[in-house]
Amino acid sequence: MPKSEKIWFNGEWVAWDEAKIHVLSHVVHYGSSVFEGIRCYETKKGPAVFRLEDHVRRLFDSAKIYRMEIPFTPDELSQSIVETIRVNDLKACYIRPVVYRGYGSLGVDPMPCPVDVVIAVWQWGDYLGEEALEKGVSVCTSSWHRVAPNTIPFLAKAGGNYLNSQLVRIEANMNGYDEGVVLGSDGLVSEGSGENIFVIRNDSIYTPASHYSILPGITRHTAITLLRDLEMRVEQRGIPREFLYIADEVFFTGTAAEITPIRAIDHIPIGEGKRGPVTAKLQELFFQITNAETEDRHGWLTFVADA
């Protein structure tokens, strides 16, 4: 992966290669971390972080669910994120804050372990391949399902959740697909391994509601808001697998994936088998906002120069 200069480690600056933890840290054994993925975009007014406050809020929500006390305030963390971009002198980057149970005692009970906080930034390009945004991706329905509600909480963006996502992604890639769509324990559509999903048929747009074992994506919320600005309403509900096959358009949303069209599911072409008109319009609007080419009417950008 591309290295940057410095990593913010519990409030100190550490050189990229020196940002290490003990092998007996709780997180290594029990997956006890919560994290965020945030993007910073290059604009004519310098680098701008997209929806910083919302991501920091979700990080604190995730920590709260797992009773992890973050030893910094949300404002301090937001400021440190901006500072990390500045120190590394990056224009556009991906930002990965991670909070984890560190080194202290081993055993399932995490409470005796310290809570460590790290912020790393680096340049991260296309998530689902070079042509994904334009041509769309080919996905499968995963043979793995999401874990049931009341097993592992999906409203928390926790490291351990991604064991399930890893199985989905490995299976999809080994079978020649770009990504997998996961069904929930009830057999209804949940999301991608690292993206939320939207479905369009006729004049209606649907996305699984938050109780379908989805991560409540910030890009998902962005898409719902931008579509509303275009006078298109998104209905949040249960979606059966086969509804995807007969859709006019299907797309993924995510910080890494941004707005990615899906051109085929289980080898069945979606609509005309290419990016559809609503997806194209939404992408255009999304990138105009992230790149500060249009008015930031929802107040989603934090300019590194001003913060």
Residue 18 to residue 266: CA distance in whole angstroms: 44
Question: What minimum distance in Å lies between the beta carbon of 107 and ligand PPE?
Answer: 28
By CB under 6 A, tell whether 253 contacts ligand PPE: yes
| Nearest Cα residue to 97 out of 76, 67, 128, 127 | 76
By CB under 6 A, tell whether 196 contacts ligand PPE: yes
CB nearer to ligand PPE: pick between 103 and 124 = 124
Question: What minimum distance in Å lies between the beta carbon of 104 and ligand PPE?
Answer: 26
Residue 193 to residue 260: CA distance in whole angstroms: 13
* Interface pick for ligand PPE out of 194, 208, 271, 276 (rule CB under 6 A): 194
| Nearest Cα residue to 54 out of 65, 44, 62 | 62
By CB under 6 A, tell whether 190 contacts ligand PPE: no
* Interface pick for ligand PPE out of 178, 179, 191, 249 (rule CB under 6 A): 191
Tell me phi and psi for residue 19, to 5 degrees: -80, 80
By CB under 6 A, tell whether 179 contacts ligand PPE: no
Q: Of the listed pieces 40-48, 226-234, 249-257, 261-269, which binds ligand PPE according to CB under 6 A?
A: 249-257
Question: What minimum distance in Å lies between the beta carbon of 228 and ligand PPE?
Answer: 17
Site for ligand PPE in 72-131 (CB under 6 A): none
Structure tokens that stand for 101 in this block: 């149970």
Q: Is 45 a catalytic residue?
A: no
By CB under 6 A, tell whether 219 contacts ligand PPE: yes
Q: The tokens 């991906």 sit on which residue?
A: 94
Give the residue at shortest CB distance from ligand PPE: 37
* Interface pick for ligand PPE out of 37, 47, 97, 110 (rule CB under 6 A): 37
Q: Compute CA distances 64 → 69, 80, 97, 117, 153, whole Å.
A: 7, 20, 16, 14, 12
Structure tokens that stand for 251 in this block: 């797309």
Question: What minimum distance in Å lies between the beta carbon of 217 and ligand PPE?
Answer: 3
Alpha helices in 124-217 (DSSP H): 132-135, 162-174
Contacts with ligand PPE: how many residues (CB under 6 A)? 16
Residue 5 to residue 37: CA distance in whole angstroms: 19
Give the torsion through C-alpha atoms of 302, 86, 215, 202, to 10 deg: 50
Residue 208 to residue 185: CA distance in whole angstroms: 13
By CB under 6 A, tell whether 159 contacts ligand PPE: no
* Interface pick for ligand PPE out of 6, 26, 101, 220 (rule CB under 6 A): 220
Q: Of the listed pieces 103-111, 253-261, 262-270, 274-282, which binds ligand PPE according to CB under 6 A?
A: 253-261
Residues that bind ligand PPE (CB under 6 A): 37, 165, 191, 194-196, 215, 217-220, 253-257
